[in-house]
Each structure stands twice: as C-alpha cells, then as structure tokens.
Amino acid sequence: MKVCPTCRKTYPDDGLNFCLDDGTVLTFAANEPPPTVMRHQPRPTDPAAPKMQTRWDAQPQYSLQPPAAGSSGAWKWVVGIMALLVLFCGGGFVGLMGLALYVAEEEAAIAALESNSNVKSTLDPDPRARVDAVPLNGWIQTDKTHGITEYVNGELVVAAKSKAFYYVLTADEIFAMNEASTRVTVRNVDDAATSMGIGLVFHSNPTPLQQGYAFLIDTKQKRYRVVRHYPKNEATVVKWTNSSAIKDGSQENLLEVRDRDGNVDLYINSEKVTSIRNAYGYKNGVPGIYSGDGIRAAFSKLEIRR
C-alpha cells in the first residue's frame, strides 16, 4: 500500500506513483518498509570476499558460504566445475577457457572505467533546484535480530548488531537518481571507529547489494572510500583516502553524488573529492544508506535534486 506524504491519502495500487489529489510522489506505508539486507564482512586474516548473511524481504535467501577470494572468485568456481563436466562429456574445453578469459577481461574493463580520476578537491555549489525528498521515517525495521533502526528527532539511526557486519537499506524504485544529484546528511553518533564506513548507497538495484555503489566515510580517521556491490561480494573502486573535508567526532557530514552523463562526482560537505565512471550501476538505480561495524549512524535529509 502507498501513501501520500502531503495529504496522507492511501492507495492500494503499488503501481501508482503520484497522488491523484495533489500530485505528490507516493511512498510506501510505514508497515511496508524498504528492502533491507545484512552483509558479512570477512576477518582481516580471511581473504574471502564478504558474504550475504540474511535478508528481510520476500526475495530468496543467498547461501551463507563465502565465494573464493578476490572480486572475480565466484566465476572461477563455476569455470572449474564446468571444466570437469566437459572432461567427462568430451570436447569444448578451449571454448570454456575462452569464456573464463572473457569474464576476467570484463571485470578488468569495469575496474578501469571506474578508476579514481585523482580529482583535486574543489568547492562546487550544486545548481540543481528541484528537490525530491526521500522520507526516512518509514524505513523502520520491526525485526531487530541483526540490527536496529530508530527514528529519533528527525534522524534515522541505523546500526548492525555486530562489528563484523554492515547494514544497508535502499529507496523505492520511484526514486531513480539518473542524471541527478543525490545527497544525505550522516553522522557518527558515538564517534566510534569503523573499518567499513558509513554513508550513501547510489545507483543501486532496489533490491540491495545486487548491483550498485556505496560512498563511505570514516570520521575517526577522516577518510573515504568507494565500493560496488554484486551478489555475495563487495569490490573496492576507490581505496581508503584521507580528506580534510570530513568533519570528525559526531558532527554532521553532507555526502553528495552528482551524476553527469555517466560520470559520477563525489562530494563531502560541498567539496569535490573524487570522480568515477558509472560503468556498473543499475539502470535507473536508487539511493540508500550504509552503516558498518555495528556503529550507530544517524541519517537525515536524503534528497534527489534535478
């Protein structure tokens, strides 16, 4: 069921996007929260990529088994199994190896397109004036087994139950962010240390962690990074980089993602810190939020500007 945030009129048709009375963009009712996903972070001594822990929507669950080490480890297992089948069935091994090389080259091409362009920090006011606010007060999750969500004083406070996990929520598909500027205010409530970061998910599949990016900051060490997600894995796009633009302690930090013809400029407190090429993001992808290491991250003012 959807509801108009202006007049509070409800609509049972989930395919309807705008209020028939005042034209406001509809949102899902509070009892129908956005998709939520928990992911597991490997221990520092474990080279395996992160694995899916659980999900709270109606989609099928993924296996708890981690893939092989490295961003392309999953396809190596597939290729190995297929190779054994080919040996038993006869023929086709050369073609199989060609497929493996193609997958590896595709991963390398994506990484090259996304690579950090070493942008010099610059102040650049955002000229986009039309604002679509994404209401966070309806993102409360009733299941608190693996994490908490609380809406307090205009902030959505999110935390995983363990330092070994991170917690992600994404907006509904009506909030597509292509060719737009997306921003969120986030703060580290307890000024806690994190090895994963807190921040803004962008160009994501509405079902979290299938395909998309995350722009993350560590306020304790005043650094940022960019990652991308695909099933059962998290790959580094921009490694941890120090930035004086980040406010430390429990101060608010404004994170922005500005999409311009496939180029994505990333800002911290209106200061441009890096850029990537959107070579992987979900078509008509949506924004979301990310909190890692069990720390309490408070989010507010999630907006899309056009």
Give residue limits of the domains in the chain: 73-110, 119-305
Q: To which H or E segment does residue 51 belong?
A: strand 51-55
Whether the pLDDT of residue 270 is over 80: the answer is yes
CB under 8 Å to 179, separation ≥6 — which residues? 259, 260, 261, 306
Q: Which residue has the higher pLDDT, 142 or 221?
A: 221
Per residue in 195-221, pLDDT (tens digit) is 999 999 999 999 999 999 999 999 999
β-partners of residue 218 are 223
Residue 166: both structure tokens together? 């991170």
Per residue in 172-188, pLDDT (tens digit) is 989 998 889 999 999 99
What is this structure's pTM?
A: 0.67
How many Å apart are CA 301 and CA 133, to the nearest integer?
7
What type of residue is 257? V
Kindly give the pairing relationship between strand 253-260 and strand 263-268: antiparallel
- Mean pLDDT value across the chain: 76
Per residue in 17-36, pLDDT (tens digit) is 767 777 777 777 755 555 65
CB under 8 Å to 168, separation ≥6 — which residues? 36, 37, 38, 39, 201, 208, 209, 214, 288, 289, 290
How many Å apart are CA 216 and CA 225, to the nearest integer?
5
Average pLDDT rounded to a whole number, residues 56-72: 30
Longest dimension (CA), the chain: 67
Class of domain 119-305: mainly beta
Output 70-75 pairs: Cβ under 8 A, ≥24 positions apart: 71/107, 71/111, 71/233, 71/235, 72/103, 72/104, 72/107, 73/48, 73/49, 73/233, 74/232, 74/233, 75/100, 75/103, 75/104
How many Å apart are CA 163 and CA 57, to the nearest integer?
23
